Every structure is written in structure tokens, then in C-alpha cells.
């Protein structure tokens, strides 16, 4: 599979023009909602391990030694070198992140963010930890000169964070970062990569509430961008399913912790 560069990942501006994404009609816009960053926000459904981008953000566990879902897929695609480097990091706290090289992946770096297991009795605690993942990941990117970042869905798998709530935290935290301090100039593009249908629906609903369309229609000057977006979409449709088993590496990777009230992943 040919890697997808950041330039081929459609931005919100293009997705609105192509009517692949629509304005928020049933839910109100968030305070401060603006189309100002629509050229800096991308959205793609597919396999995050195929992206030739500055950094991909892995939904990791505290051990950083691999797990199921996207975590396992990233470790498998990166190869043994990633596991060996992660072993030197001595884990990571929930709500924070650490960066490694990407090894066999087409991206330059991997940022491992440890999301919270959702606590429905204390949702604000979960929100603070999840926001910390996005904020710390972006801070690491800027600190290391990484200008394009793609996020996998953090905590929305077996950690049980409701997809809609998680998307609200993700979009709000990213928007704030892009508007303040080092985020104004340090980041060129942030991509939200979805895979499961529940996450697709969540981001399609939430993104327009934070980053509404500016208006206008597709014209002849957008033909090249339209072609790039179409190619990216075709690539995404051809991508294999993300593995759900643990990576087959030495070191006994730790599986992610299951919620107590879950019947399955």
C-alpha cells in the first residue's frame, strides 16, 4: 500500500466544498466556533499506519509496550525497534504522552498518548486526562519540530470513552492549542483519523460545531485538490482492517485494561 502524504489528506475546507461534510444543523455551534483553521484540520477514515506524516499519535497504554486495536497495529507495522525503544521509556502516565522514532512506519515519529479508562461516575476527571493527551501530544510535536500530526481515536475502544464526548474533547483541545501560544505557528496540520463507524459519526457531527464551513462552492481552482481528496478516499477504502490482537513481539506486551462493566471490546 502506497503511503498517504499529509498533502493528500483532505482538509475540512475541501470536505465542505465537496459536500462530504456538512454544517451542524441539529446541534448549536460551540462558543468561539470559527472556520479560521479549516485549512489546518484534516479528516480521514482509514489506517493511521499508512500515513506519511510528521507524527501519528498512538492510543497507547501505560506500559507503552503494545496492546490491542490501533496500538497493536502500530507496533506491528513499526517492527521490533519500536518495542525496544518503548521499553527504555519506563511507561507513561495516563493523560500524558511520549515520543519515539517510527522505524518501519512511513511517518517520522510516533507519539504515544495514554488515554483514561472512562469513569462514568467522574466524567470530568476523564475529560481532563483525555484533554491532557491531545495537549501533550501537540506540545511534543512543536518541541521536536513536527508540523503535521495525525490522531487515532484515544480511549474510544476498550477504554470505553463515549465517541461523541471524546470527539468534543479532542476538537476543543486542538482548537485551543492552534489558537494560543506555540500552536499558532508551530503546527501546519492536525488530522483526525477514524476507523470504526461510531467514531466516524462522532467526528462528522462534532467537527462542524467547532470548525464550521466558511461558505462558497467548489470552482475550477479546486480541481487538483478534489482529485487529491478522491485519491485519499479510495486509498482509505482499500486499507485492511486494523488488527485487534496484541503485537507478536518479544517482551510480553501488556493488553489494555477492560472496563469492569463491559461484555467485550
Summarised one tens digit per residue, pLDDT across range 169-197 is 999 999 999 999 899 999 999 999 999 99
CATH of the domain at 183: 3.40.220.10
pLDDT tens, residue by residue, 127-173: 999 999 999 999 999 999 999 999 999 999 999 999 999 999 999 99
Q: Pick from 168, 165, 161, 162: which is nearest to 256 by CA?
A: 161
Counting the structural domains of the chain, the total is 1
pLDDT tens, residue by residue, 107-122: 999 999 999 999 999 9
- If you search the block for the grid coordinates 470505553, which residue do you land on? 160
Q: Is residue 60 part of a domain?
A: yes
- CA atoms of 34 and 209, how far apart (whole Å): 9
Q: Is residue 264 part of a domain?
A: no
- In terms of residue numbers, what domain contains 161? 40-213
**pTM confidence score:** 0.82
Amino acid at each position: 500500500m502506497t503511503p498517504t502524504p499529509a498533502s493528500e489528506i483532505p482538509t475540512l475546507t475541501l470536505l465542505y466544498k465537496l459536500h462530504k461534510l456538512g454544517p451542524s444543523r441539529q446541534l448549536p455551534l460551540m462558543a468561539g466556533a470559527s472556520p479560521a483553521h479549516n485549512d489546518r484540520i484534516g479528516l480521514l477514515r482509514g489506517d493511521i499506519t499508512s500515513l506519511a506524516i510528521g507524527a501519528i499519535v498512538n492510543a497507547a497504554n501505560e506500559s507503552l509496550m503494545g496492546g490491542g486495536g490501533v496500538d497493536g497495529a502500530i507496533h506491528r507495522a513499526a517492527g521490533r525497534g519500536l518495542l525496544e525503544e518503548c521499553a527504555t521509556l519506563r511507561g507513561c502516565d495516563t493523560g500524558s504522552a511520549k515520543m519515539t522514532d517510527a522505524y518501519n512506519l512511513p511517518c517520522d515519529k510516533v507519539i504515544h498518548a495514554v488515554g483514561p479508562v472512562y469513569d462514568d461516575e467522574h466524567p470530568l476527571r476523564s475529560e481532563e486526562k483525555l484533554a491532557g493527551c491531545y495537549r501533550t501530544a501537540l506540545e511534543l510535536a512543536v518541541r521536536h519540530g513536527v508540523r503535521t500530526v495525525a490522531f487515532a481515536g484515544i480511549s474510544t475502544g476498550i477504554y470505553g470513552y463515549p465517541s461523541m464526548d471524546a470527539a468534543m474533547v479532542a476538537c476543543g483541545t486542538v482548537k485551543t492549542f492552534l489558537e494560543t501560544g506555540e500552536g499558532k505557528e508551530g503546527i501546519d496540520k492536525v488530522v483526525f483519523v477514524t476507523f470504526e463507524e461510531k467514531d466516524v459519526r462522532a467526528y462528522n457531527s462534532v467537527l462542524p460545531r467547532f470548525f464550521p464551513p466558511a461558505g462558497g462552492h467548489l470552482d475550477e481552482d479546486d480541481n487538483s485538490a478534489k482529485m487529491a481528496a478522491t485519491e485519499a478516499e479510495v486509498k482509505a477504502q482499500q486499507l485492511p482492517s486494523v488488527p485487534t490482537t496484541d503485537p507478536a513481539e518479544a517482551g510480553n506486551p501488556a493488553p489494555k485494561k477492560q472496563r469492569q462493566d463491559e461484555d467485550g471490546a
